[in-house]
Every structure is written in C-alpha cells, then in structure tokens.
Amino acid sequence: MGVDDWRDRVSIDPQICHGKPCIKGTRIMVSIILDYLKAGESAAAILSQYPTLKDEDIRAAIAYAAWLAHEEEEQPLHTQVTVRKSSSTRTCRTL
C-alpha cells in the first residue's frame, strides 16, 4: 500500500456515520478497527468479526491514522498539551 492509497479505501461522508472516517462501502468506522488493534487483536480476528473487510482495509485504517498524526504535526488539533516530567507539570499552548 502506497503512502496515499488509504484514500482508495477510506471515505468521509457527512451522511454516513456522522462524517466519521469509514471503510468505503461499509459503515465500519476506522476508529473501530484501530480500537481492535490497540486492544491487541490480530488482523485475522478483526477480519473474522467483520467478514466484509479485507486485509487492505485494515492497512488503510492504519495508514489513515499515520497520515492524521502527520497532519497534526503541521496543524495541531489540540489547543493545549500537558507534559508531565517527574514532579513538575509543564503546559504548552498552541496559537
């Protein structure tokens, strides 16, 4: 899967799942796939839960998340980030 190939498999449509990113042709949100992966589920387990998915869809969900993380580096989505270091807390604000 190339850098931008996730766009072939992920869609964002305000009429489907309130505009949340979904695998094209389904109502399976990218966040669901990422939650399964975060919980330690294998791709095979996810595919067995959602038979309409393909392995490429799981890779596209990961690629979308990576793209989103890189986009946030360019244009932060958060207005405040708190970093805890030992006994002190430092707050950074973005403009």
Predicted confidence at residue 40, as pLDDT, reads 97
Q: Which fold has domain 5-93?
A: Arc Repressor Mutant, subunit A (1.10.10)
Average pLDDT over residues 41-47: 97
Position 93 pLDDT exceeds 70: no
**Exposed (0-12), middle (13-18) or buried (19+): which is 85, by Cβ within 10 Å?**
exposed
Handedness of CA 5, 11, 60, 77 (dihedral sign): positive
**Average pLDDT score over the chain:** 83
Position 61 pLDDT exceeds 50: yes
pTM: 0.73
